[in-house]
Structure 1
Amino acid sequence: MVPTASAAVHPPVTRRPPGRAAPRDAPLADPSTLPERDPHRLPWPGREVTSGGVTLHVRETPGPDGVPAVYVHGLSGSATNWTDLAALLRTRAAGTAVDLPGFGLSRPPASGLYTPAVHSDALLCFLAGRGRPVHLVGNSMGGAVALAVAARRPELIRTLTLISPAMPDRRPDPRRVSDRRMLLALLPVLGRGARAALAAQSPRERAEQVVRLCFGDPSIAAEHRLAEATEEYAARARQPWAFEAARQTGVAMVAGWLRGESLWTVAGRVQAPTLVVWGDRDRLVSPRLARRTVAAIRGSRLLMLPGVGHVAQIEAPEAVARAVAGLWDAVADGSWEDPGPDGR
């Protein structure tokens, strides 16, 4: 879990680097059509659900009948990362935030192996078993997992939202990372010492470190959310598989980048209407990848958030909710046009 911001208003802007055509802006829903955010909202109730032969712990947000939303967390996260965004979107769609295998309160896979491909397979089977298209929303590693599922089974995905997806990047810049141990820990061999140091942290230290790394402005993290995150990290520390799940998944993700395995080709196969959201202070996945991601996914739109970091759905939930609701509304009323294979 990453603590939710206490209060933040980040007007959306799209910035245009010189020499390139600007991507199309995301449509934004009228804020008056969204419910007011309760900054003290508790995480949605959770339970285990078996679907498509896969059992995951999920947190469910009640909402209207119609196309449901499914939310997928990142490497250090869980279903609680979506508490506020799911609440803001609950008048448009019922939500299911999943804990990927070995994360949150989900049990480990029978194989004991954790890679992005394992998580993609699990999510795909889970969605296929439910038998209806969904609005799929993913952050960071969860964004990469969602992207792979959308490319493989387009009939399962009504819309796709990617929030700072973990797109391959062979040019990481350690100067942009506030705690270099977190970056070093993802390296397959060199990161052993860093991983051991992270494992020795107290739950409170871990929560504070994640905020420093993932927020554009760490000072806005609410104290009660830090306390919630501390409790969650303490609970995960008691799970015998939790550290290995995060270690194997992170190392496999970076190893895939180094081997040249590329989500960029996968992105070109996505058919669903897609929204890409990025914070311009993202210290984990470079904001310069935002434009490339939009260019790789036909007809996608971009929301760039100034002052926001890696977990925009937590740090600026109102701004993200307006864009996601705008996507859903535009698809529902037919105004999200597909320019075809030769245009944007």
Structure 2
Amino acid sequence: MTPSLPEDLAVLEAGDPNARTALVLHGGGGLQTVAPIVDHLAPTMHVLAPTHPGWNGTRRPDDIASVADLAAAYLTRLLDDGQHDVVVVGSSIGGWIALEMAIQAAATDRYSGLIGAVIDIDGVGAVIENEPILDFFALDARQVAEAAWHDPNRGYRDPAGFTDEQRAIQLSNGETMAVIAGKGMSDPTLLGRLGTITVPTLVVFGESDRLVTPAYGRAVAGAISGADFAVVAAAGHLPHLEEPEATWDIIDPFLNLAR
């Protein structure tokens, strides 16, 4: 039985409902980390940006316990909503979910035409030889900033300044991420399945990302037939936060060609 999203799934909707749909998928940091992507795409697209089940205090059904489960649930929801030719844009874990959605869509006739293109921004998920994913769960706040940002001082948030509610949400988000993505934030079968993706795909990586390096991203793109790969200078794991204009300069031409 296909996993299903909760009926009360929190979804930020923006843009023109009659335009092409972009599904924007956040990573471990939650919806706020992809807010610039939503804002950038909204003038020309119909943007849907869900909060993944279990993040920010939301409910996670028991049958969503992996990235594959979450990808299947999003595909079913898009299909039930009558969507087609959707551009899936994912950041970090969201990039992994986007790739998994494209793989599942290519393998299932009922999803034919549902996904039109994929943009993977510093996505995790694959196991690449000699390019390990940094153990995010073993890092403190300062170490995360140093690994994920070109300018760590910009990304560092001192946990001492968090409210009790913020600490609880951060803890809960981490627990949910460990369930969905696993402690290694990877699936050993993913790399071998990337070749089944048939839609236009763009892989974008920040030059200074040390959680997953640009070499890792290049290997992911190389496993997908016809995929484009690009690097954003002076940016880390979230290039759309550190260098938004440079990120749009890469994404926009791809979207124009992938129409």
Structure 1 and Structure 2 fold alike (TM over 0.5): yes
Output the CA distance in 1 between the equivalents of 2:59 and 2:220: 32
Output the CA distance in 2 between the equivalents of 1:95 and 1:231: 31
Q: Which protein, 1 or 2, shows the higher relative CO under an 8 Å CA cutoff with sep ≥ 6?
A: 1
User: Is residue 2:82 matched to residue 1:145?
Assistant: no
Aligned counterpart in structure 1 of residue 12 of structure 2, from 49, 59, 66: 59
Output the CA distance in 1 between the equivalents of 2:234 and 2:23: 27
What residue in structure 2 maps to residue 163 of structure 1?
121
| CA shift in 2, pair 1:239/1:320, >3 Å | closer
User: Is residue 2:44 matched to residue 1:86?
Assistant: no
| CA shift in 2, pair 1:312/1:147, >3 Å | same
| CA shift in 2, pair 1:233/1:269, >3 Å | farther
How many equivalent residue pairs? 246
| CA shift in 2, pair 1:240/1:211, >3 Å | closer
| CA shift in 2, pair 1:59/1:238, >3 Å | same
Kindly state the Cα deviation for residue 312 of structure 1 after the two structures are TM-superposed.
1.4
Please list the CA deviations of residues 170-209 of structure 1 after superposition, one character each: whole Å capped at 9, or x if unmatched.
53569xx6xxxxx263xxxxxxxx48xx6xxxxxxx5x65
User: Is residue 2:174 matched to residue 1:247?
Assistant: no
1:288-327 correspondence to structure 2 within 5 Å: 288-327=215-254
Kindly state the Cα deviation for residue 142 of structure 1 after the two structures are TM-superposed.
1.2
Contact residue 140 and residue 164 of structure 1 kept, 8 A: yes
Aligned counterpart in structure 1 of residue 53 of structure 2, from 101, 124, 128: 101
Kindly state the Cα deviation for residue 149 of structure 1 after the two structures are TM-superposed.
0.6
Kindly state the Cα deviation for residue 210 of structure 1 after the two structures are TM-superposed.
4.2
Output the CA distance in 2 between the equivalents of 1:106 and 1:144: 21
Kindly state the Cα deviation for residue 231 of structure 1 after the two structures are TM-superposed.
6.6
Structure 1 residue ranges without an equivalent (≥5): 1-51, 178-182, 186-193, 199-205, 333-344
Please list the CA deviations of residues 51-91 of structure 1 after superposition, one character each: whole Å capped at 9, or x if unmatched.
x65432122222362211111112x2212212112212222
Over 6 Å off, 4+ runs:
230-233
What residue in structure 2 maps to residue 213 of structure 1?
147
Q: Secondary structure at the match of 1:216?
A: coil
Output the CA distance in 2 between the equivalents of 1:83 and 1:321: 14
Output the CA distance in 2 between the equivalents of 1:233 and 1:120: 32
Q: Please, what TM-score do these two structures have when normalized by structure 2?
A: 0.81
Output the CA distance in 1 between the equivalents of 2:204 and 2:219: 12
Task: Look up the equivalent residue of 1:142 and give its one-letter code.
Answer: G
| CA shift in 2, pair 1:211/1:63, >3 Å | farther
The percentage of aligned residue pairs carrying the same residue is 26
| CA shift in 2, pair 1:316/1:268, >3 Å | same
Please list the CA deviations of residues 103-153 of structure 1 after superposition, one character each: whole Å capped at 9, or x if unmatched.
135311134x63222222222222222221211001111111110111111
Task: Look up the equivalent residue of 1:262 and give its one-letter code.
Answer: T
| CA shift in 2, pair 1:61/1:247, >3 Å | same
Output the CA distance in 2 between the equivalents of 1:232 and 1:287: 35
Output the CA distance in 2 between the equivalents of 1:323 and 1:293: 17
Kindly state the Cα deviation for residue 291 of structure 1 after the two structures are TM-superposed.
2.2
Larger Rg: 1
What residue in structure 2 maps to residue 73 of structure 1?
26
Task: Look up the equivalent residue of 1:161 and give its one-letter code.
Answer: I
Kindly state the Cα deviation for residue 304 of structure 1 after the two structures are TM-superposed.
0.9
